Amino acid sequence: MEKKLKDLDKEALEKIKKSNDIERLEKLQVEFLGKNGKVTAVLRGMGKLSPEKRPVVGKLANEVKENIEGELKTRLNELKKEEEKERLKKETIDITLPGAEVSRGRLHPMQLIIGQLEDLFLRMGFSIEEGPDVETDYYNFEALNIPKNHPARDMQDTFYVEGDFLLRTHTSPVQIRTMEKQGPPIRIITVGKCYRVDELDATHSPVFHQLEGLVIDRGISFSHLKGVLIEVTREIFGEEREVRFRPSYFPFTEPSAEVDVSCFKCQGEGCPLCSRTGWLEILGAGMVNPRVLEMSGIDSEKYTGFAFGMGLDRMAMYKYEIEDIRHLWDNDLRFLKQF
Ligand code: FA5
């Protein structure tokens, strides 16, 4: 039995040394030390030995077992190291190669102008309100002093959704919602999309953005409105661009005005972009009609206010000298990369 153990020891060590992969080592482990392995079988036969022989053979068997286990472990470590070396060799990268370019996103020109205006109004003490795109006839028209069948409805050709609902044609309904929600003093702006059945051309889109402002307090006058709007146009267009206030009409403001900036393309000379007027219209504004204040529960004897609605797509066009509003909606990367 002792010789058998020594032979097994020799056989195992030779096989272990020759094995070149981890799988083969696992098989050898089973072959010699497993439940039905060769060394285990010898150990099992020890019961038949005489009591004097048993401890001697037992000791040897344990030595052989430990020896084989040790060799298996050493060889396993060697193979693992070799494998790791191979893997690293395959994964070697050439760090002198130029890296892949990471493309950076950027803000859409609409987002740029919205951010700039919101910053400016927050600095002037305005807060920001929100309103729904799908509005009721009441908030979009009636409460703004535009009754049903009134010719002023023709000023804004409307997408009707269902029953009393429509896509808001301007951001002015947010004025009413704010007046109903909070009493004076009010100093808010709101930014959002508006929808009109307008033919798509260089300056009209059926979906466009407006920024609405509303200020209501005691003693508010037209000069306050002028002051705010001149500040805004200077910030957006710079000192050089000329600005003019022109009398206009909106049922919800009295008196009303429209504001134009001098044309960037012809510098006021007159060209097709400005319909040969030298001016580009950017917004409508005026003193809130007392009827509108009263309808929203504000005492028009005590309070006055002004409101304005800026066309943001147009303002972005005139700021960044974009000749066609469609560029703002096409999402052509060649165009967007310029901002
Ligand atoms: C209004 O929408 C009024 N609610 C503005 C207002 C608010 C007046 C508060 C008084 C007090 P108007 O329809 O003129 O007004 O539109 C305002 C601006 O929106 C225009 O000056 C223009 O810049 C822009 N706009 C109007 N229609 C379009 C369109 N189809 N595409 C792009 N911009 C448009």
**Torsion on CA atoms 235, 208, 189, 159, rounded to nearest 10:** 160
What distance in angstroms lies between residue 251's CA and the mean position of ligand 1's atoms? Answer: 13
**Residue among 194, 228, 327 to mutate when testing ligand 1 (max atoms within 8 A of CB):** 194
The finding on whether 313 has its CB within 6 A of some atom of ligand 1 is yes
Token look-up 């470590």 returns 77
178 and 293 in contact (C-beta within 8 Å)? no
What gap in Å lies between CA 99 and CA 57, rounded to an integer? 66
Show pLDDT as tens, one digit a residue, over the chain (339 residues). 888 888 888 988 999 999 888 889 999 999 999 888 888 888 888 888 888 888 888 888 888 888 999 999 999 999 999 989 989 988 888 889 888 888 888 999 999 999 999 999 999 999 999 999 999 999 999 999 999 988 888 888 999 999 899 999 999 999 999 999 999 999 999 999 999 999 999 889 999 999 999 999 999 999 999 999 999 999 999 998 899 999 999 999 999 999 999 998 898 899 988 999 999 999 999 999 999 999 999 999 999 999 999 999 999 999 999 999 999 999 999 999 999
Which of 105, 130, 106, 120 minimizes the C-alpha distance to 315? 120
Find all residues with CB under 8 Å of 301, minimum gap 6, and list them: none
What distance in angstroms lies between residue 211's CA and the mean position of ligand 1's atoms? Answer: 9
What distance in angstroms lies between residue 168's CA and the mean position of ligand 1's atoms? Answer: 12
What gap in Å lies between CA 291 and CA 293, rounded to an integer? 5
The finding on whether 184 has its CB within 6 A of some atom of ligand 1 is no
The finding on whether 195 has its CB within 6 A of some atom of ligand 1 is no
- Which one-letter amino acid corresponds to residue 266? C
Which of 156, 122, 315 minimizes the C-alpha distance to 251? 156
For ligand 1, what atom is nearest to the CA of residue 196? 30
What gap in Å lies between CA 278 and CA 146, rounded to an integer? 32
316 and 322 in contact (C-beta within 8 Å)? yes
What distance in angstroms lies between residue 73's CA and the mean position of ligand 1's atoms? Answer: 82
Structural domain boundaries of the chain?
Answer: 2-91, 109-336
Q: Does domain 109-336 have CATH number 3.40.640.10?
A: no
What distance in angstroms lies between residue 78's CA and the mean position of ligand 1's atoms? Answer: 79
What distance in angstroms lies between residue 122's CA and the mean position of ligand 1's atoms? Answer: 22
The finding on whether 168 has its CB within 6 A of some atom of ligand 1 is no
**Residue among 170, 246, 329 to mutate when testing ligand 1 (max atoms within 8 A of CB):** 170
What distance in angstroms lies between residue 94's CA and the mean position of ligand 1's atoms? Answer: 59
Strand partners, 246: 258
What gap in Å lies between CA 114 and CA 48, rounded to an integer? 95
The confidence score (pLDDT) of residue 300 equals 97
Angle at which helices 53-90 and 22-33 pack, to 10 degrees? 170
- Which one-letter amino acid corresponds to residue 137? D
What distance in angstroms lies between residue 268's CA and the mean position of ligand 1's atoms? Answer: 22
The confidence score (pLDDT) of residue 209 equals 98
In this structure, the residue with its CA closest to atom 10 of ligand 1 is 285
The confidence score (pLDDT) of residue 99 equals 86
How does pLDDT run across 89-104, given as a tens digit for each residue?
A: 888 888 898 888 888 8
The finding on whether 308 has its CB within 6 A of some atom of ligand 1 is yes
- How many CB atoms sit inside 10 A of residue 190's CB? 23
For ligand 1, what atom is nearest to the CA of residue 156? 13
The confidence score (pLDDT) of residue 55 equals 86
How does pLDDT run across 187-201, given as a tens digit for each residue?
A: 999 999 999 999 999
For ligand 1, what atom is nearest to the CA of residue 308? 9
In this structure, the residue with its CA closest to atom 9 of ligand 1 is 308
